[in-house]
Structure 1
Amino acid sequence: MTSATIEHAVHRVISNMRANLGQDLTIDDMARTAMFSKFHFTRIFRDVTGTSPGRFLSALRIQEAKRLLVQTQFSVADISSLVGYSSVGTFSSRFKACVGVSPSVYRELEGFATGIDQEPWPDSPTSPAGVSGITLWGHVTLPEGRAPGPCYVGLFPTQVPQGRPVRCSVLEGPGPFELRNVPVGTWYLLVHSVPYGQEHLVSGAAGDEDSDTVSVGRHGPLTVRAETVPLPVSVALRPLEVFDPPVLMALLDLRTGTLASATG
């Protein structure tokens, strides 16, 4: 089986997800769309996208909810139903966990955040991840022909940029970065960027008319061990693709042209 055949099957499933966000899509439904066994489908979907079909579908639903909150006057209850949630409470809790703010606050802030909170990690030998005191250095590069802009650099436990990053930074443009006091553990470094003056597109989803404007990059898994200095990381940005999970966390409002602190 060729990689093109596999990618076409996954692309077909993602298109079906987008067209039926309000429906109850099961793994069996998705596997039938892909024309693979459920076990094989789940494996190839993760290989192509970096996450499970269920998590990808959930991310698409929250992404659509973000769009509806900013671009329509639908109530939170209506939006909850439109993106496949039967309970407004469950939707609101899930939205806040992924985006960082409640649906009503996200609408009030027009889709941005006044700060980006980092996940607190207690410095305790009994904690799941102890603070290592290690700094991760790296460099973000942008291919020739793509316009530069602010870069959001975040360290996450999964390949979906949602919730609080364990560490983050906002750069004025492609170039060097450092993340201090990185916790011990295994993380993914995710970067998102848009040209100056188009910051409102920073959480655009692949398939949107403006999606080609958004640049993304990733590195990982990256394992941080106590008393071991990780090698510098290089992240090359590229256009957002349909296989990339959407950016769920509310990103810092840079529309004023002033680079504010990334932490709240």
Structure 2
Amino acid sequence: MARGLRFTALSVSTRQGDTVTTTAIEAAVLRVIGDMHTNLGQELTIDDMARTAMFSKFHFTRVFRDVTGTSPGRFLSVLRLQEAKRLLIETKFSVADISSQVGYSSVGTFSSRFKACVGVSPSMFRDRGGFTPEIVSGPLPSPSVPGIRSTLRGRVQMTEGRSSGYCFVGLFPTPVPQGQPVRCTVLEGPGAFELRDVPVGTWYVLVHSVPYGSEHLPSGTGDDDTVSVGRYGPVTAHADTLLMPAEITLRPLEATEPPVLMALLDLRTHAMEAVAS
């Protein structure tokens, strides 16, 4: 089931000129996300979701993107793959069975989609316990393309009351942390970061952290209450321009946010090296 949210009573103007509180809008989106969790293996259309939200289809699609940062269809796809990650780690179901349970009629389509979004195949994800030994940044654009020397600097800080830990900082083309980051780095804890050779384009900085000692827990399996996340963007890198510093505050992963799909770097290695040094 979807987790609870902390609502803020702001106002959002609709296209029709009506005013609806953010609380009401987020509550409607949360109902839809809860329905997604309940029916991951079933077909859910935009019409179905809009009826659950009690909005028109077009208004629902717009406000869902405003609240979550992505479309209803993509959010549902992310939840299905996240559940597949959990089943691969916590059960002995075959890949074909898991594919069916999360709404895929073709195991081939499921496996291809899983690898594209998580970074490894379903069987490799299971064999490696939900982690990857390394995360390689995407290839640099062709040397003939100008403006690839931008550097994005910033700082990660933790919300008061949250436990610190290693921080994965990645640069992605969408607000969903999936697939291969364009650039990435790992911090030993909240603090300053630097992403060099940022290509020309529009990007999102996505940060994921778990407390020290919890590096063995794959994201999306078991209890995610310890996970802290942060987002910055969109930020557009132009040719040879100076990017403004990014200030990112980590907070709990909420039900309206797309979960972390990519297979996480095995930070246990970093933790053991830090203890040994």
Name the TM-score, length of structure 2 as normaliser: 0.88
Question: Are 2:157 and 1:138 equivalent residues in the alignment?
Answer: no
Identity rate of aligned residues, in percent? Answer: 70
Structure 2 residues without counterparts, runs of 5 or longer: 1-19
Counterpart residue type for residue 107 of structure 2: V
Q: Deviations over 1:27-58 (max 9, x none)?
A: 11111111111100000000000000000000
Tell me which of 156, 160, 164 is aligned to 1:148: 164
Q: How does 1:56-135 map to 2 (within 5 A)?
A: 56-125=75-144, 132-135=148-151
Aligned AA (2:138): E
Q: Within 5 Å, which residues of 2 pair with 1:172-187?
A: 172-187=188-203
Are the equivalent residues in 2 in contact too, given 1:100–1:163 (CA < 8 A)? yes
Q: Look up the match of 2:252.
A: 239
Task: State the AA in 1 paired with 2:168.
Answer: Y
Structure 2: how far apart are the matches of 1:98 and 1:258?
A: 28
1:30/1:116 CA distance change after superposition, 3 Å: same
Structure 2 Cα separation of the partners of residues 44 and 248 of structure 1: 23
Question: Cα–Cα, structure 1 residues 53 and 200, in superposed 2: closer, same or farther, change >3 Å?
Answer: farther
Residue pair 2:169, 2:186 contacting (<8 A) in 1 also: yes
Matched, 1:216 2:232: no
> How far off its partner does 1:122 sit?
2.3
Post-superposition, which runs of at least 4 consecutive aligned residues in structure 1 deviate over 3 A?
none
Q: 2:116 & 2:107 partners in 1: Cα distance?
A: 14
Deviations 1:106-144 (A, max 9, x none): 000000001012121322556xxx661111111100122
Give CA-to-partner distance per residue, 1:205-258, whole Å, 9 cap, x none: 7xx6x2221111111000001110101111011111001101000011112424
CA distance in 2, matches of 1:64, 1:117: 25
Distance of aligned partners of 1:82 and 1:259 in 2 relative to their CA distance in 1, 3 Å threshold: farther
Give distance in 2, aligned partners of 1:16 and 1:121.
Answer: 41
Deviation at 1:157, TM superposition (A): 0.6
Cα offset for 1:202? 5.3
2:207 is aligned with what amino acid?
Answer: V
**Structure 1 alignment gaps of length 5 or more:** none
After superposition, what is the alpha-carbon deviation per residue over 1:146-182, rounded to whole angstroms, capped at 9, x for unaligned?
1110101001010000000110011111001111101
CA shift in 2, pair 1:113/1:2, >3 Å: same
Instruction: Measure, in 2, the Cα distance between the counterparts of 1:173 and 1:3.
Output: 33
Report how many residues are paired: 254
SS of the residue 2:99 aligns to: helix
Residue identity matched to 1:252: L
Give, in whole Å, the separation in 2 of the partners of 1:103 and 1:181: 31
Answer yes or no: is 1:255 the counterpart of 2:274.
no
**In structure 2, distance between residues paired with 1:34 and 1:65:** 26
2:219 aligned to 180, 203, 207, which one?
Answer: 203
| Partner residue in 2 for 1:169 | 185
Does residue 26 (structure 1) correspond to residue 45 (structure 2)? The answer is yes
Aligned to 2:17: none
| TM-score (ref. length: structure 1) | 0.92
Counterpart of 1:32 in 2: which secondary structure? Answer: helix
- Deviation sequence 1:75-110 (CA, Å, 0-9, x none): 000000000000000000000000000000000000
